[in-house]
Amino acid sequence: MERTRGRQTLGYMMVFGAASLWGTLGVVSRNLYVGGLSAQAVVTLRASMAAALLLAALTVLRPATLRVRLRDIPLFAAYGLVSVAAFYLLYFLTIQHLSVAAAAVLMYTAPAFVAVAAALTLGEPLTQGKLLALTLTMAGCALVARAYEPSVFRGQLIGVLTGLGSGFTYGMYSIFGKHALKRYNPWTVQAYSLLFGAAPLVLFFGREAVRSLARSPEALPWLAYLALVTTLGAYGLYLSGLQVVEASHAALLSTVEPVVAALLGFWILEESLRLPQVIGILLVLGSAVILNAQRGEPAGAASRQAGVPPAGVGTECARRTPGGAP
């Protein structure tokens, strides 16, 4: 029992650590935008560099991890296309029509989608504690993103729809990941989700990305940080934690990302931090405390009770201000 609880604690710490790394994206991306790179270029370079590095490393060091069953290719393809490529593109479309703050609020509807999908497909119960944590999280994210300002949602209906789409596709990362982790380790899952996610981004934005990098070669160290730390490192931690943490809990814990981004913006970029934002930060942290108190069986045990075998990575488009999606 103590060993199981220890694994759960480590899993929660991994998810929390992943979200904290995502929170650094705002500061890093700000430097890239100032240097002349477009949001599409940063997104494409981040995903393609991470995919290439991970696939090359696994091919040399652990080639066995790249072996997957032919019947599982559609799962990985859907994983990458929906939760990497479609998520990035939908979020980019959202900020074309709405403010970054509004886009962030709509994206953080993700835990709601995950809670419902996890209940339907993974057998994870919708407990009162989880619903309370979900309410606190969404309210906290709205306050951190300053959704209370009248101008935030001033825009077109299409922006709201694409924003909800970004929340759905972002949330599906946890659901697809949970299913994939039943048969494969986190590195295999991450490698193929990045491969299938980066491919369409390169197809649509690859030429622009290469041209942008050629004009600003000094951006390469920052891009390497995005690929190695906030993609391979953060998503590796998240997927490893997801092995023992419920998908809905992981999605809720990942909302600490805008909190970290807001704090970094305050400390490093000297941006203002208003009282409602501080309250929002406390609400998000409070939801994490509730989730910690709700810990019970490991995710694998919950899956077994539901008849499912046990388990075995806001886009830079929003990084013009700290916050947004991993």
User: pTM for this one?
Assistant: 0.79
Q: Which residue from 212, 188, 294 is spatially nearest to 249, judged by alpha carbons? A: 294
Please write the tens of the pLDDT for every residue from 40-80.
898 899 999 999 999 999 999 999 999 999 999 999 999 99
- Please state, in angstroms and rounded to a whole number, the distance separating the CA atoms of residues 279 and 262: 12
The residues near 52 (Cβ < 8 Å, ≥ 6 apart) are: none
* DSSP secondary structure string for all residues of 175-219: HHHHHHTTTS-HHHHHHHHHHHHHHHHHHHHHHHHHHHHHH-GGG
- Please state, in angstroms and rounded to a whole number, the distance separating the CA atoms of residues 180 and 69: 11
Q: What is the pLDDT of residue 1?
A: 61
Which residue blocks in the chain are alpha helix, DSSP H?
Answer: 2-22, 25-34, 39-61, 73-80, 87-97, 100-107, 110-121, 128-144, 157-180, 186-215, 220-225, 234-242, 247-253, 256-267, 275-293, 299-305
Q: What is the pLDDT of residue 299?
A: 44
Q: Is 279 exposed, middle or buried (0-12, 13-18, 19+ CB in 10 A)?
A: middle
Residue ranges covered by each domain of the chain: 2-317
Q: Which residue from 257, 246, 231 is spatially nearest to 324, judged by alpha carbons? A: 257
Q: Which two tokens stand for residue 115?
A: 């809670």
Please write the tens of the pLDDT for every residue from 229-267.
999 999 999 999 999 999 988 988 888 887 887 788 778
Q: Determine the straight-line distance between the first and last CA of the chain, rounded to whole angstroms.
A: 34
Q: Which two tokens stand for residue 4?
A: 């199981």
CB 324 within 8 A of CB 315: yes
Please report, in tens digits, the pLDDT of each residue of the chain (326 residues total): 666 777 888 999 999 999 899 888 878 877 887 788 888 898 899 999 999 999 999 999 999 999 999 999 999 999 999 999 998 888 878 877 776 666 777 887 888 899 989 999 998 888 888 888 888 888 888 887 777 777 766 666 788 888 889 889 999 999 999 999 999 999 999 999 999 999 999 999 999 999 999 999 999 999 999 999 999 999 999 999 999 999 988 988 888 887 887 788 778 777 777 888 889 888 888 887 787 676 654 444 433 333 332 233 343 444 434 444 56
- Please state, in angstroms and rounded to a whole number, the distance separating the CA atoms of residues 85 and 151: 29
